Structure 1
Amino acid sequence: MTDTTRGGPSRRYGSRPTMKDVAARAGVGLKTVSRVVNGESGVTPDTERRVQEAITALGFRRNDSARVLRKGRTSTVGLVLEDLADPFYGPLSRAVEEVARAHGALLINGSSAEDPAREQELALALCARRVDGLVVIPAGDDHRYLVPEIAAGVATVFVDRPAGRIDVDTVLSDNHGGARDAVAHLIAHGHRRIAFVGDQPRIHTATERLRGYRTAMAEAGLAVHPSWVSLGPTEPERVRSAILEVLDGPEPVTAVFCGNNRVTVTTVRVLAERRGSAALVGFDDFELADLVSPAVTVVAQDPASLGRTAAGLLFRRLEGVAEPPQRVEVPTRLITRGSGELPPGG
């Protein structure tokens, strides 16, 4: 059985439609169909409309395998996240996907589960599938395994944390500046004994936020007692123990600055049990932060901006822009809600 619609016999029933089928149905040349399918100029609006109608009627789909062989590109990019379940990465991933879609590319993502070996395995698996580029949120601190892939033309951008031992485009939040602003805010409200409870010291963001804490304390002429600083895993048991230690230790603090949202959530629970015995500012906003009592003052990052900026750099590279690797810092902002404005003993 054959299709005898406009353009004459075009294809056998059940076979996959081709550009020739589309051209026959629309009454145009094959080159015109190719221009419409590939988004090229030189086609009048009326002709483009007829071609698009033919594409829809026939159910035509572009043969990307042939396109890859012809152009050496797959129109896919990979995103390696630390933890797909972390709400911080939702808007970041969505922003990368939106930029990729605007460039006609498909995004493939996966989670390293905070495991450097898994990160490497996932990144190289994406490269083996011939993605055009990678956006990586690193779990490890040595990324020389990507050198052959980058040399082979895989555009690569790191986001949230810098790459280890290679020089590539990097997009970061202003972790140091945000932390400094948070601690300066607590100092402005009368606090002199301020604790910092953060993530593991091997993590770039944790060390930068600790550096911002120390900067603010030093600028105010305040000494930091060793017992006020606690870095380690963000599991609730460890954080709870650290918070109780800084509140009840030999040099008890009147305020706590938390290094990320997981630490902040546990701290809110501890302070609620103690009926708000300290002021609190957290790094990273989190769901319901504005509904607890007192509402939680936070340093908010802009994960969507991180994703958009990283993807923008990636596609600049894919478009052939040759320039030294860039390091972009996205500003943070302090959102005051009440917990960080409590006075000492308040």
Structure 2
Amino acid sequence: MALPPSETTPQQRRPTMKDVAAAAGVSLKTVSRVVNGEANVNDDRRSAVLESIAALGFRRNASARDLRQGRSGSVGLLLEDVADPFYSILSRAVEEVARGHGTMVFAGSSAEDTERERELALAFCERRVDGLIVVPAGTSHSYLLPEIQAGIPVVFVDRPPGDIDADIVLTDNAGGTRRGVEHLLSFGHRRIGFIGDAPGIYTAGERLRGYREALESAGIPFDDQLVTQAPPSPASTTDALDRLLGGPSPATALLCGNSRTTVSVLRELARRSTRLALVGFDDVELGDLLRPGLTVVAQDPGAMGAAAARLLFQRIAGDVGGPTQTVTIGTRLIARGSGELDAP
């Protein structure tokens, strides 16, 4: 039942700086100085303003402030999958750097869909984010040129962009797989298999390159029969292991090209009584609790995210005319047991 007009409760109005000034008995300029952290305010007046702010529940309109400064106070982060542990760590590192700049981060997942990547990137730009950090799904990014020319800086991370020159933060993918293969070679393995992601993915190609280079340096011919490149799935893993472990000269060791492939291989090997030295690219949660523990070439997604964010805020701060930069983050081998099995 509707209340009589006299009993109707009006929607509460958000207190303004004028309300704070009236409550504290000071000028609007004094409130503005206190809110913005300026030093030239009498201690008594500052205390009165702060007490009034607390009593009224006043909150500064950050959006209005940012718009006056020509900023939105936000950046866009476009990942492959926000649920992936690798990208979760990268995202958190971006947030920490952004927090230090008083900036919010809006994130979205492309799911390796080039059209979805384009839609999300342009949607962020339509909302006038101050900059973009993109893990590219596609191979063409000329659609971002009008946005860049309009003043929105873009940093690419994990993979380089196509068609445009921009700041990039990468992992030393080839160096990481070289290190993993050299580790297996040191235990006497000569038949080393490689299961990587789809060949069209930049990181998959770089990791395969490092695998080939390590074998060539050791004087071991590259053998196509020891290599599989396909999106990770139970079916593709089963087929790959059947091929690697069958025939007269089976593989005695295996390097997995990413964490999803490693997990899929571990599940399949658990159903087989197969002795196989194993090194995974990317660490896996609870990998140290396996028996033997999982030996990995570990990336540093936190360092990648932080480096990308620092580059972006450098551009946002006005460094728009300098040459583009490429930052490469190294990997490290973590030996836990699975890659330390001697060749039969």
Give the alignment's TM-score, normalised by structure 2.
0.91
Secondary structure in structure 2 of the residue aligned to 1:104: coil
Q: How many residues align?
A: 334
Aligned to 1:195: 193
- 2-side partners of 1:40 and 1:312: how far apart? 27
- The amino acid across from 1:164 in the alignment is G
Which sits farther off after the overlay, 105-114 or 19-28? 19-28
**Aligned-residue offset at 1:70:** 2.0
Change (3 A) 1:337 1:59: same
Q: Distance in 1 between the 2:169 and 2:47 partners?
A: 41
**Residues 1:140 and 1:50: Cα distance change in structure 2 (over 3 Å):** farther
Q: Which residue of 1 aligns with 2:60?
A: 62
RMSD: 2.0
Long gaps (5+) in structure 1: 1-11
* Deviation (angstroms), 1:326: 0.7
Structure-2 residue corresponding to 1:19: 17
1:229 aligned partner = 227
Change in CA separation of 1:108 and 1:39 when aligned onto 2, cut-off 3 Å: farther
Query: AA paired with 2:225?
Result: S
1:89 corresponds, among 84, 87, 90, to: 87
1:321 to 310, 319, 322: 319
1: CA distance, partners of 2:47 / 2:245: 69
2:338 aligned with 1:339 = yes
**What is the CA deviation profile of residues 139-169 of structure 1, one whole-angstrom value per residue up to 9, with x for unaligned ones?**
1111111111111111211111111111111
1:327 maps to amino acid: T
Residue identity opposite 1:238 in structure 2: S
Unaligned runs of 5+ residues in structure 2 are 1-9
Q: Which residue does 1:244 correspond to in 2?
A: 242
Q: Report 1:110-259 matches (<5 A).
A: 110-259=108-257
How far residue 40 of structure 1 moved from its aligned partner, in angstroms, is 5.2
Within 1, Cα distance between the matches of 2:93 and 2:138? Answer: 24
Q: Any idea what SS the aligned residue of 1:286 has?
A: coil
- Pick one of 100, 103, 127 that aligns with 1:102: 100
CA gap of 1:69–1:86, structure 2 versus 1, over 3 A, is closer
CA distance in 2, matches of 1:46, 1:320: 38
Partner amino acid, structure 2, of 1:343: D
Alpha-carbon distance in structure 2 between the residues aligned to 1:98 and 1:44: 34
1:328: how far off?
0.4
Instruction: State the TM-score, normalizing by the size of structure 1.
Output: 0.91
Q: Please tell me whether residue 330 in structure 1 is matched to residue 329 in structure 2.
A: yes
Matches of 1:18 and 1:119 in 2, distance apart?
A: 40
Distance 2:255 2:225 in 1: 14
The answer for the alignment partner of 1:288 in structure 2 is: 286
Letter in 2 for 1:337: R
Relative distance call for 1:58 and 1:249 in structure 2 (3 A) is: farther
Letter in 2 for 1:108: F
In 2, the alpha carbon distance for the partners of 1:50 and 1:222 equals 78
**For residues 181 and 109 of structure 1, do their structure 2 counterparts lie closer, same or farther at Cα, with a shift above 3 Å needed?**
same
Which of 260, 263, 278 is the aligned partner of 2:261?
Answer: 263
CA deviation profile, 1:198-221 (whole Å, cap 9, x unmatched) = 001111110111111111111111
What percent identity do the matched residue pairs reach?
A: 60
Q: In the alignment, does 2:31 pair up with 1:33?
A: yes
How far apart, CA to CA, are the structure 2 residues paired with 1:41 and 1:95?
32
Range with bigger deviation, 219-228 or 64-73:
64-73
Per-residue deviation, 1:261: 0.5
CA 1:159–1:262 in 2, change beyond 3 Å: closer, same or farther? same
**What is the alpha-carbon distance in structure 2 between the residues aligned to residue 108 and residue 295 of structure 1?**
37
Contact 2:237 2:268 in 1 (8 A): no
1:87, CA displacement in angstroms?
1.2
SS, match of residue 95 in structure 1: helix
C-alpha distance in structure 1 between counterparts of 2:175 and 2:333, whole Å: 11
| Distance of 1:211 and 1:141 partners within structure 2 | 19
Residue identity in the other structure for 1:308: A
Aligned-partner Cα distance in 2 for 1:327–1:44: 49
The CA deviation string for residues 273-296 of structure 1, in whole angstroms up to 9 with x for no partner, is 223421000000011211122111
Q: Contact between 1:261 and 1:283, CA under 8 Å: does it hold in 2? A: yes
Query: Is the CA contact (8 Å cut-off) linking 1:225 and 1:251 kept in structure 2?
Result: no
Could you tell me how far apart the structure 1 residues matched to 2:343 and 2:107 are?
46
Write the distance in 2 (CA, Å) between the matches of 1:42 and 1:229: 69
Cα displacement (A) at 1:189: 0.9
Query: How big is the shift at 1:54?
Result: 3.0
**CA distance in 1 between partners of 2:173 and 2:274 (Å):** 27
Q: 1:279 to 1:36 in 2, by over 3 A?
A: farther
